[in-house]
């Protein structure tokens, strides 16, 4: 029986890894085809997180994206939207034809998410720092209504400079929201440079613990670690945060830890180089 369980788990891990690989290709294709700059670095750093959520953790119905009992996903680091769009495509919630409209006139898919439940987009996002507050509200409302779905919120480490994040964190622990899971995409960069140079980012896990959250610290590109952490039963403490150590621009050598790719444009030459790397 143990062998069978391990076999199923490894099969799921491999499926999610393949999903992540296709998502990276989708991100590159969307960025190149839009004929302009896109937020590549932060979209690529969150790919395994998104693939694990949509491929092995969250409860949803692809053909019924407004299903009342679905788990909710809030993208607080809205500039990482390429990671969300590619996950929605892989999940069958949106189609290839919709993906091809990215950044076109009148498209539903633009550079930051715009709430569209029919497309699986649960919230709009522009200014950073607001998504966790929305997630707290959704989780608290679910508790009050006796509903049992979960709420997941993905934050950036630079975004955690915002005071609004910590007001929301304080509220979540006060109300013991054990249906709320936050994930920090801890890639250690933000728009203006390395996070440590802009606002000290060491002690990230200790900060969340001090606000009353259960904390798991993982390799944000390890599907087994993400699966184990995100599928854990609810904590008696209330909310949980997964601090996921990631690499900005992950998967493309010339983008990795290169903050020029926070927001940049792919030339044909660089696009072909990147695609070739993914096919190795």
Asked if residue 20 lies in contact with residue 223, where contact means CB atoms within 8 angstroms, the answer is: yes
| Residues 68, 192: Cα–Cα separation, whole Å | 40
Question: Nearest CA to 99 among 45, 28, 19, 6?
Answer: 28
Range of the domain at 183: 2-279
Q: Retrieve residue 36's tokens.
A: 């302009």
Q: What is the CA radius of gyration of the chain?
A: 18
Place of tokens 């997180």: 49
Which stretches of the chain drop beneath a pLDDT of 70?
Answer: 1-8
- Per-residue confidence (pLDDT) for residue 2, from 0 to 100: 42
Question: Nearest CA to 151 among 128, 167, 175?
Answer: 175
Residue 218: strand pairing partners: 244
- pTM (two decimals): 0.96
- Per-residue confidence (pLDDT) for residue 279, from 0 to 100: 86
- Per-residue confidence (pLDDT) for residue 8, from 0 to 100: 54
| Residues 47, 80: Cα–Cα separation, whole Å | 10
Asked if residue 122 lies in contact with residue 73, where contact means CB atoms within 8 angstroms, the answer is: yes
Residues in the chain: 280
| Residues 166, 210: Cα–Cα separation, whole Å | 10
| Residues 199, 91: Cα–Cα separation, whole Å | 36
92, with CB counted inside 10 A (0-12, 13-18, 19+), is middle
Three-state SS string over the chain comes to CHHHHHHHHHHHHHHHHHHHHHHHHHHHHHHHHCCCCECHHHHHHCHHHHHHHHHHCCCCCCCCCCCCCCCEEEECCHHHHHHHHHHHHHCCCCCHHHHCCCCCCCCCCCCCCCCEHHHCECCCCCCCCCHHHHHHHHHHHHHHCCCCCCEEEEEECHHHHCHHHHHHHHHHHHCCCCCEEEEEEECCEECCEEHHHHCCCCCHHHHHHHCCCEEEEEECCCHHHHHHHHCCCCECCECEEEEEECCCCCCCCCCCCCHHHCCECCCHHHHHHHHHHHHC
CATH classification at residue 29:
3.40.50.970
Structurally, the chain folds into a number of domains equal to: 1
- Per-residue confidence (pLDDT) for residue 132, from 0 to 100: 98
């Amino acid at each position: 029986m143990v062998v069978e369980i391990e076999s199923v788990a490894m099969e799921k891990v491999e499926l999610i890894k393949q999903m992540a690989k296709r998502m990276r290709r989708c991100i590159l294709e969307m960025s190149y085809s839009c004929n302009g700059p896109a937020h590549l670095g932060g979209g690529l750093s969150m790919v395994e997180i998104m693939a694990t959520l949509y491929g092995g953790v969250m409860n949803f119905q692809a053909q019924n994206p407004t299903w009342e009992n679905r788990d909710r996903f809030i993208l607080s680091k809205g500039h990482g939207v390429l990671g969300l769009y590619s996950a929605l495509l892989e999940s069958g919630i949106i189609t290839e034809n919709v993906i091809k409209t990215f950044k076109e006139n009148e498209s539903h898919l633009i550079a930051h998410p715009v709430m569209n439940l029919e497309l699986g987009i649960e919230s709009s996002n522009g200014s950073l720092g607001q998504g966790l507050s929305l997630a707290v509200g959704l989780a608290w409302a679910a508790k009050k209504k006796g509903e049992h779905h979960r709420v997941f919120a993905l934050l950036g480490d630079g975004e955690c400079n915002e005071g609004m994040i910590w007001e929301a964190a304080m509220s979540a622990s006060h109300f013991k929201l054990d249906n709320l899971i936050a994930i920090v995409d801890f890639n250690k960069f933000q728009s203006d440079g390395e996070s440590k140079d802009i606002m000290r980012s060491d002690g990230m896990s200790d900060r969340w613990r001090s606000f009353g959250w259960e904390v798991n610290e993982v390799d944000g590109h390890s599907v087994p670690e993400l699966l184990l952490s995100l599928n854990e039963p609810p904590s008696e403490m209330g909310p949980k945060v997964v601090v996921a150590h990631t690499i900005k621009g992950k998967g493309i050598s010339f983008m990795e830890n290169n903050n020029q790719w926070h927001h940049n444009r792919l030339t044909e030459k660089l696009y072909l180089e990147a695609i070739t790397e993914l096919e190795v």
